């Protein structure tokens, strides 16, 4: 904090409609991985997934008007010649004028001959028109963040989608012609048991069977799983939880791989050792500055590349500074003062504690955009005038 100040309070772009957006980005000579135009729809999310940091720190929700999106789309395509556009947001299906956005996208597709792609979507608000908008020979799949295999565990993380909703949506997108389904899952979530892992496997098999039954594409159904371990991050409801030990995560990985064999399932796991260090660094205090220096001296450079990463170098850096890495990855007392508390996101600690207790009781919290204000604290700190602020 500045001298004389106790806290650092985040700043935000309050009005996206009058903020700068690059309409003439530099276009590389060669083809790049992300060779497309990007249009931001809105910032923030109020769905309240309890593991999600972005859903807390990027509040409140701020949308761009449809005419602003159209202006940016027209100009960026004219200026770049890109053949694909991606809409950016934390949950595209939650855009308030989704029907208008779909109509706009269809006009742009017809006018410029481009394709439209979307980031991961929520199962519970998927519209067929959204799928029709993006279905194209260049866009052959859809991505959904399911996160947990059992309905019980989805309640814990406040991902309130039922198995029936999941399978109904899979049926609809398979009928539209998509043959690749990418699913995001998290393992090692708080309260997770072996039964939840079995549910993950069984749900994935059901998804494949439904997709296969209703597919309209001539191509075979392919299920791509992206599975990451739960990482307790600052400014989340689960910030006090632990990172599950790597041996336990490996056992769950083997169970999933053993039960989802076959060419129709492609499974990608992140590197658990890298996730372990990432968790430690995200929850660290000022003492880690010396650890970082020691790690660098030990050869920890370009560690974002798996072939460069060496866990032993990091463990050695902790030992040199008489610190235990596990102490940063373990469960934290909910009444303790946290190293990052001097940075204020606008969401109160009291709200996070309330949500944590409700998670342990498998209770869910509604989205304040469609219900009453949940009292997260944003109203007191930032302009949230578009939503109902009556306390529930």
**pLDDT at 355 > cutoff 80:** yes
What is the Rg, in whole angstroms, of the alpha carbon atoms belonging to the chain?
Answer: 22
47 in a structural domain: yes
1 in a structural domain: no
Residue environment code for 93-121, b if the CB has 16+ CB neighbours within 10 A, otherwise e: bbbeebeebbebbeebbeebebbbbbebb
Residues near 228 by Cβ (< 8 Å), separated by ≥ 6?
Answer: 184, 185, 186, 187, 269, 270, 275
292 in a structural domain: no
Total structural domains in the chain?
1
300 in a structural domain: no
User: pLDDT of 149-158, one tens digit each?
Assistant: 999 999 999 9
Residues near 376 by Cβ (< 8 Å), separated by ≥ 6?
Answer: 59, 347, 348, 351, 368
What sections of 135-239 are H helices per DSSP?
A: 151-156, 163-176, 194-214
Nearest of 147, 150, 198, 143 to residue 169 by alpha carbon: 143
CB 376 within 8 A of CB 355: no
**pLDDT at 195 > cutoff 60:** yes
Q: Which domain holds residue 357?
A: 8-287+323-381
311 in a structural domain: no
User: pLDDT of 255-287, one tens digit each?
Assistant: 999 999 999 999 999 999 999 999 999 999 999
User: pLDDT of 294-341, one tens digit each?
Assistant: 999 999 999 999 999 999 999 999 999 999 999 999 999 999 999 999
Give pLDDT, residue 389. Answer: 41
Determine the average pLDDT of the residues in 24-41: 89
Lowest mean pLDDT among 106-120, 151-165, 345-359: 106-120
Determine the average pLDDT of the residues in 203-213: 96
Give pLDDT, residue 1. Answer: 64
Tokens matching residue 67: 């005419």
188 in a structural domain: yes
Give pLDDT, residue 184. Answer: 96
Confidence of residue 377 (pLDDT cuts 50, 70, 90): very high
**Average pLDDT value over all residues in the chain:** 91
- The CATH code of the domain that includes 270 is 3.80.30.20
* Three-state DSSP class for residue 259: helix
303 in a structural domain: no
73 in a structural domain: yes
Confidence of residue 382 (pLDDT cuts 50, 70, 90): confident
Give pLDDT, residue 50. Answer: 97
CA distance 140 to 134: 9
Confidence of residue 122 (pLDDT cuts 50, 70, 90): confident
């Amino acid at each position: 904090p500045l001298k004389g100040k106790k806290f650092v309070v985040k700043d935000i772009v309050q009005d996206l409609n009058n903020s700068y957006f690059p309409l003439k980005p530099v276009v590389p000579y060669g083809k790049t991985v992300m060779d497309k135009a990007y249009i931001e729809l809105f910032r923030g999310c109020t769905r309240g997934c309890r593991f999600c940091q972005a859903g807390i720190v990027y509040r409140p929700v701020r949308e761009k008007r449809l005419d602003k999106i159209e202006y940016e789309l027209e100009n960026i395509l004219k200026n770049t010649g890109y053949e694909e556009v991606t809409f950016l947001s934390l949950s595209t299906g939650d855009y308030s004028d989704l029907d208008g956005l779909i109509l706009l996208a269809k006009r742009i597709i017809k006018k410029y001959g481009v394709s439209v792609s979307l980031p991961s979507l929520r199962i519970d608000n998927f519209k067929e028109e959204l799928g029709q908008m993006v279905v194209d020979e260049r866009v052959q799949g859809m991505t959904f963040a399911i996160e947990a295999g059992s309905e019980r565990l989805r309640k814990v993380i406040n991902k309130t989608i039922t198995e029936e909703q999941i399978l109904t949506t899979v049926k609809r997108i398979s009928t539209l012609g998509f043959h690749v389904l990418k699913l995001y899952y998290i393992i090692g979530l708080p309260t997770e048991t072996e039964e939840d892992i079995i549910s993950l496997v069984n749900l994935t098999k059901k998804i494949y069977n439904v997709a296969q039954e209703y597919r309209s594409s001539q191509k075979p159904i392919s299920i791509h799983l992206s599975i990451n371990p739960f990482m307790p991050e600052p400014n989340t409801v689960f910030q006090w939880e632990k990172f599950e030990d790597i041996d336990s995560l490996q056992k769950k990985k083997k169970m999933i791989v053993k039960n989802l064999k076959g060419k129709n399932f492609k499974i990608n796991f992140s590197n658990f050792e890298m996730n372990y260090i990432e968790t430690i660094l995200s929850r660290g205090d000022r003492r880690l500055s010396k650890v970082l220096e020691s790690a660098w001296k030990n050869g920890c450079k370009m560690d974002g590349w798996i072939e460069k990463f060496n866990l032993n170098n990091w463990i050695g850096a902790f030992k040199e500074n008489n610190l235990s890495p596990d102490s940063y990855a373990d469960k934290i007392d909910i009444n303790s003062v946290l190293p990052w508390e001097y940075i204020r996101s606008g969401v109160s600690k009291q709200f996070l504690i309330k949500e944590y207790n409700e998670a342990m009781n498998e209770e869910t919290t509604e989205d304040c955009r469609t219900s009453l204000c949940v009292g997260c604290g944003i109203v007191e700190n930032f302009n949230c005038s578009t939503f109902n602020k009556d306390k529930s």
